[in-house]
Amino acid sequence: MKKLLIIAVLVLPFFLFTGCKDLLDVEEDISFTIIIDANSQQESFSNSRVYDLAANVDVIEEYGSKIKEVSISRVDVWLSTLLPVEGQRFTGGSISVSRPDGSDITHIASHPQILLQNLLNNKTSITPDSEGLKLLGQLAADPPHRFQVHTQGTVNEGPITFTMHIEFTGKMVANPLN
């Protein structure tokens, strides 16, 4: 019994000190919205822009290089302005992410057919692709916390004039000791 107690006393500090670092992890909700203006005289549009998460999301700026993980779990879209064309609808559209230089473009989500009028001031969830969310989370977590968002879409009838909002929601895990 005495030997068991001695072994426990010797081994217990190892488990305490190796696990303490993870005990100090901080988990925060994260949400950011990218606004895209779509203007085209045609039936299609495309847009790409670099987004600096550290400059736009306080929790990313606050924890910076101490971030261990960012996991995005939800993607919502809506329109805030729309120059309506009667019966105008998305016939297809997609959102992708890449590194800031445009490399490694990975699909995040597609938007199904829907009347554009139904998206006006109406936040709508779209089903995300796990590989795209994984890359977005990685680029969000790693300094310099920048990435490029690519959107493209087609409508049944032009012209296209609207402002689209894409909101990404998830969790950020950081450790102040790192």
Secondary structure, 3-state, 108-169: EEEECCEEHHHHECCCEEECECHHHHHHHHHHHHCCCCEEEEEEEEEECCCCEEEEEEEEEE
- Only one residue has tokens 């009838």, namely 157
Comparing 23-27, 125-129, 136-140, the range with the smallest average pLDDT is 23-27
The domain that contains 35 carries what CATH number?
2.60.120
In a domain, 124, yes or no: yes
In a domain, 127, yes or no: yes
Q: Average per-residue pLDDT in the chain? A: 88
Residue 79 in this model has a pLDDT that exceeds 80? yes
State both tokens at 128: 């995300």
pTM for the model? 0.84
In a domain, 19, yes or no: no
Number of domains present in the structure of the chain: 1
In a domain, 96, yes or no: yes
Residue 61, pLDDT score: 86
In a domain, 84, yes or no: yes
E-assigned strand segments in 53-103? 67-82, 89-98
In a domain, 9, yes or no: no
- Dihedrals phi, psi of 121, to nearest 5 degrees: 55, 30
Residue 171, pLDDT score: 96
In a domain, 69, yes or no: yes
In a domain, 117, yes or no: yes
Angle at 7 between CA 2 and CA 8, to 5 degrees: 95
State the residue range of the domain holding 124.
25-174
Mean pLDDT of 33-62: 92
